[in-house]
Amino acid sequence: MLKLARVLLLGLLLIFWFLFGLLLCLVRPRHPNNVYVFAQMYHAVCPLIGVRVKITLPEEVKNVGPAVYVCNHQSNFDIFTVTGAVQPGVVAVGKKSLLWLPFFGLLFWLSGNILIDRSNRSRAIGTIGQVVDRIKAKGTSIWMFPEGTRSRGRGLLPFKAGAFHTAVQAGVPVVPIVCSSYFGQIDLNRWDNGEILLELMAPCSSKEHGAAGIRELSDLCRVRMEAKLAELDSKLGLVPSQTQS
């Protein structure tokens, strides 16, 4: 019964968000802070699904300016959990197929996020160029999941290079974001689904690496994020096997 009640309430919220989002996007189409507004609404659902998210935001991130934010990607519940780390002026880069998701897909695009066609390499590369131009021209920050897919409890997966190409070409830092392991933790039939730790880390400069050092930058961020994931999981008492990739 609890799960059914939550699903019904989430369904009603989804309809409300869609209608409110359409209105907001009509008033200020593709405004850079639309995504931030929606992210805060989605994150506010966490108490409804019985989970507490503790967010750590260091001072150096508050004034970082345009950046590429990279976050680990675990499950569909990320739309409620990691969205708490979204900062003003940040838009996400997602798969073009997201556009076909009922309600969410259209709103994802209208709010100002960027869709790429991963099935077509040349188009994807061209989109990265457009993203870079947008960062330089409008000072927009970008949110990407460098693993490229949900890890589903497999730790931190290998990183794809797109986020780091973008940061280097735009000359902006990379801000790693790490969410503690929670795959399988959320049960909609359970009142209390525990605590999740979400931490934004100190920026990594892309200017120190350059085009020839994109893989080096990617590896540096991954090593830092993997260590932070192990640290956060340890604080929650999770066993090491849940943090290894």
How would DSSP label each residue in 149-169? S--TTS-SPPPPSHHHHHHHH
pLDDT at 4 over 70: yes
pTM for this predicted structure? 0.90
What does the alpha-carbon distance between residue 36 and residue 207 come to, in Å, rounded to a whole number? Answer: 27
2-242, CATH topology level:
Glycerol-3-phosphate (1)-acyltransferase (3.40.1130)
pLDDT value, residue 245: 38
Residue 224 or residue 120, greater confidence: 224
The mean pLDDT of the chain is 88
CA–CA distance, 55 with 127 (Å, rounded to integer) = 31
Least confident of 58-62, 114-118, 203-207: 114-118
Domain residue ranges in the chain: 2-242
Statement: residue 119 has pLDDT above 90: no
Residue type, 106: L
User: For residue 242, what pLDDT band results from cuts at 50, 70 and 90?
Assistant: very low
Average pLDDT for 121-126: 62
Confidence of residue 141 (pLDDT cuts 50, 70, 90): very high
Instruction: Kindly tell me if the per-residue pLDDT of 104 is higher than 80.
Output: no
Instruction: Please tell me which residue, 101 or 62, carries the higher pLDDT value.
Output: 62
